A and B are shown apart, each in its own frame.
Chain A
């Protein structure tokens, strides 16, 4: 089973200047907020350091010494600093998160629009699951970079330096002794983090395998049961779930060891301060200048010193995943698989619907042409059928016409203008395609007809739908046109879905109507509903009709026969039958099979 669900990515570097430079345009508008939170971090940290100092002074003067003057002032200072720290921390947390949310809102939107602009070639070869992950999980990893405070890591560094400086003024020998612990702590946590992270990556990986397996088997449970595979499937699931458990156990072990050993180190530091500081204090010469209060301050400062230091290793891993995520996001943004825009915009003729293919050759893989040197013309208002065996290139003709792909050689013109000279949106609004597999969006029936198209009013959408007798169908739904469409239209029959696809195309009122096996899934009754409407609709405009069942296209103006990527015959039904070529053979085959 494992081979079917490959791993998703590895661990990257923590800092990658190239990626940071690319992130900058999104972060730049937020620089005010980021600077503000940096300032807040520094001032509140300073306040925290000052508080310990004040406590030290209070103890030195009023406990070890015996004066009672000025105690009130010091306590008031402490309270003021505490209040400042409280507000500063709250505000700092908030500002940096706002900055992150704002920056990533822009990035997410850019990414989504980029995806919409990418060519069909890209979408056809890229698994959707991965791409969805870019827009969701990966952006979240970048958000984590803000909320965990990586952005203000500079503040942490300044804070650490300031603390060390302060400790030096307090007692430099003791400071030097204590700082021995720091490299130990950094080394240990970094070393362990790497392991925690590796275990975590295993866990994520096993979880996504579990998800994939679960999803497949929930959707296909009827088949599992039908073929009594329950036992095998259960044990396969048990295996995957067990893998996940084991990865979790590894990650739990490392995390437990890590958290316990950092705590151990901080306790040992206290012990160190007591041992060394204590012996200095007890030394005969009082010239060392060390007081009990200073010793306490030392311990307190080290505690405050440990917090960002501990976080630092955590931030490294956050940064690693953020960089990995950024790498993937920008990799996606670097795809420039666009259908090229026209160099100069041609003044557009009024839409009539004249189509001409001239010497068109094309292959999804250029080495294997799907269409070879295909030429034909379709007059405005003409009804043309395209027939031929599956895989012969019929659907590809439509994809080229709407520029989902661009021709390899030759050219295609619509109303005398090369399709590559139209603005894409202009071109596509002139051609309406009803596909074989209807895709429905979340929302209600009416939304699926209008699809948020700004030019189509609700009334127009309803009119288009009514014309196809969709009103008779929706009359059966409790909510009529506002009946919600479930995931992929699960609550509609294939015929109903097909009607919606027709309505959605008609609402745009295209000059060219292309039907790609559009009626193959429609049952007899729905076909009946469609028949009249279709007759009118195809009469009003140029129509290209791809059909398997030859009986449905008998009355078109012309029939093109495509075989192995070449146009081999064209003519009316009668002409082609008389010619006694491929069409006649096709016809006889179907006739025999229909008998």
Chain B
């Protein structure tokens, strides 16, 4: 709490006027409301004493009650609008701030933390924080003020009786708080279980083809039923506690009435005399009625404070994640990327062991046991040095896991690297502004991620104001033209989430077009056409020859034939540069590359014979 609140202060300050006004209204509305039982006492006294002007007096009191009720309703509505409204506005500010921070986090953050985890920060935790700064503050203020005002008023009527009637309250408060904590814990467990159920359904739907062809329907259904059974028992555990709390609440209300009757009956004096009249007893009962139900909610509110601050802590975890893409120190003018010469000097990238990687709490894989602790990390790239002159083409070959993708990502600024290892036009990438580096690199990765925008908007993602002709030209370069006829609105067709209504090959070509439109000095193609058939892929790459002329191009490929014309080819093996040279040189060396080439050529030769 002490650590979390200062973090919230700037946000609270923005809405401080509303909060202060809201609190004033809370106090005012309670003052007004608590006058009503006192007026009731007066009314009963008048009725009991049957004075000559009784009728007029009662009417006056009734009018007062009406007035107070109306005023209470107005002030109370205002207080809620102010406090609850501010909490919604504050939540919006906080969401915007969080999202802005997310856009600044380095890519590795998103690799380490599953999307579901980050989403849950935005949804569940935000919900709890919003509760904390809205309803929770409101109820706490209301209940505390209620006690502060009501108890003296009751004591003024009859101190001993008040003390006796309120005696069970602290015990009840303690019990209800404990139960509330357990209810909330139980609800959270149930909620998690529901999340699991939802994941199972999602999985069974996405995996339908597998489930059907392997006839797993019964097996997955049984697994699902087991989850549902667990969910049921978790829910019932919560219900048991809820029932207990309701029972206690009902009991408390009756108990305090019983105490008032038991002790009060003997003390009643007739109206007119000074002291405890029948009207006093009635008003005491009304006051008690007003206190019991907020006391029940208090238990929940107090445990929500804990939950809210914990959620706040988790939100801070995101805001405190340090791997932020910030402008390099020193301030402008920042160095600019020129023609795009790339140089690696002993580039070494080591993935930290699982146990050491900074994770958002809760996002660590569950089975992280002794084995994972024994994981000492993995060297992905080991002392790689390379020079790619501006305007030349580098081909990169190697097995899965050899470090090809990490290498190109390092150049594109998508992989954090140590100072002094990666240079673009002689400038350390760490000294470049991230946006400058990225503007200089057109990057196409293996998985072509598209947004639910139109195809044209996706192609123009990096240059939203690109003229229509440029978009069409980029699409043509990526051989998207023929596919446009199949789409309902051609380039303006809306894509589903992640481009679901395109085939894998179409997505990849759209992603390629997107990068080409950037018109950047450096072009990085990381196996960009794996889902496109070999023939078309070859045509596309051949068509890019003139586009690539004058650009620095890094091309990762599985099929060696694609790379033959590269100015230089490196073979990566286990994170090191195994061989390097032109196609002809590498063949002459007779190493891994020559071997691979031989194998691929043999297939072709065999075909030739046929």
Contacts and interface: CB of A to CB of B under 8 A. Distances in A.
A113 B221 contact: yes
A242 B224 CA distance: 38
A424 interface: yes
A144 B199 CA distance: 22
B110 A218 contact: yes
B206 A260 contact: no
B58 A62 contact: no
B160 interface: no
**Listed residue (A83, A85, A242, A256) with the most chain B CB atoms within 10 angstroms of its CB:** A256
A112 B365 contact: no
Given A404-B212, A429-B215, A487-B116, A292 B48 contact: yes
A278 B58 contact: yes
Contacts of A278: 43, 46-47, 54-55, 58, 62
B458 to A, nearest CB: 10
A505 to B, nearest CB: 8
Interface string B79-112: 0110011001101100110011011110100100
Contacts of A259: 80
B43 A55 contact: no
A245 B199 contact: no
B455 to A, nearest CB: 13
B460 to A, nearest CB: 9
B175 interface: no
Nearest to B88: A248
Given A249-B88, A587-B607, A136 B449 contact: no
Contact of A484 (B46, B205, B223, B367): B367
B273 interface: no
Given A256-B77, A282-B55, A428-B214, A226 B414 contact: yes
A97 B243 CA distance: 10
Nearest to A127: B496
B492 interface: no
B168 interface: no
Contact of A275 (B58, B84, B243): B58
Contacts of A244: 92
Contact of B278 (A292, A452, A494): A292
B3 interface: no
A216 B498 contact: yes
Interface in B395-452: 399-401, 412, 414, 434-435, 438-439, 441, 443, 445, 449, 451-452
A132 B382 CA distance: 45
Contacts of B199: 442
A227 B538 contact: no
Given A58-B261, A221-B102, A90 B244 contact: yes
Given A75-B262, A90-B246, A228-B438, A136 B194 contact: yes
Contacts of B365: 484, 486
Interface residues of B, number: 160
Interface in B48-89: 48, 50, 54-55, 58-59, 61-62, 65-66, 68-70, 72-74, 76-77, 80-81, 84-85, 88-89
A493 interface: yes
Contacts of B107: 221-222, 225
B5 interface: no
**Listed residue (B122, B534, B603) with the most chain A CB atoms within 10 angstroms of its CB:** B534
Contacts of A490: 114
B565 to A, nearest CB: 12
B475 interface: no
Interface residues of A, number: 155
B550 interface: no
A296 B282 contact: yes
**Listed residue (B110, B216, B325) with the most chain A CB atoms within 10 angstroms of its CB:** B216
Interface in B242-278: 242-244, 246-248, 250-251, 254-255, 257-258, 261-262, 265, 268, 278
A253 interface: yes
B278 A594 contact: no
Interface stretch (B307-315, B371-379, B582-590): B371-379
Given A292-B47, A404-B213, A452-B216, A90 B236 contact: no
Interface string B569-610: 000000000000000000000000000100010011011101
Contact of A228 (B118, B202, B435): B435
Q: Secondary structure of the B side of the interface?
A: helix
Given A229-B462, A548-B534, A493 B607 contact: no
Interface stretch (B8-16, B150-158, B225-233, B326-334): B225-233
Contacts of B46: 278
B205 to A, nearest CB: 4
A30 interface: no
B148 interface: no
Contacts of B44: 292, 295-296
Given A94-B240, A478-B375, A86 B205 contact: no
A82 B205 contact: no
A373 interface: no
Interface stretch (A264-272, A356-364, A413-421): A264-272
Contact of A249 (B85, B207, B604): B85
A219 B115 contact: yes
B561 interface: yes
B561 A577 contact: no
B110 A221 contact: yes
Interface in A232-288: 232-234, 237-238, 241-242, 244-245, 248-249, 252-253, 255-257, 259-261, 263-264, 267-268, 270-271, 274-275, 278-279, 281-282
Contacts of B47: 278, 281-282, 292, 295
A447 to B, nearest CB: 10
B449 A479 contact: no
Interface in A447-485: 451-454, 478-479, 482, 484
B451 A220 contact: yes
A51 B62 contact: no
A193 interface: no
A169 interface: no
Contact of B55 (A97, A279, A548): A279
A120 B209 contact: yes
Interface stretch (A19-27, A155-163, A207-215, A561-569): A207-215
A83 B265 CA distance: 21
A432 B209 CA distance: 12
Contacts of B535: 589-590, 593
A147 to B, nearest CB: 7
Given A478-B371, A524-B558, A587-B607, A256 B80 contact: yes
A237 B99 contact: yes
Interface string B331-374: 00000000000000000000000100000000001110101101
Interface in A87-122: 87, 89-91, 93-94, 97-98, 101-102, 105, 108-109, 112-113, 115-117, 120
Interface in B290-325: 325
B489 interface: no
Given A226-B443, A264-B72, A594-B534, 11 more contacts: A90-B243, A112-B224, A116-B217, A214-B119, A226-B441, A227-B462, A244-B92, A295-B44, A428-B215, A520-B530, A573-B610
Q: Report the 5 A-B pairs with minimum CB-CB distance, sorted nearest first.
A: A90-B247, A227-B462, A82-B254, A452-B219, A267-B69
17 contacts: A4-B494, A86-B247, A98-B239, A113-B217, A116-B217, A116-B221, A218-B118, A221-B110, A222-B414, A238-B96, A248-B88, A274-B61, A432-B214, A479-B367, A521-B530, A525-B399, A593-B538
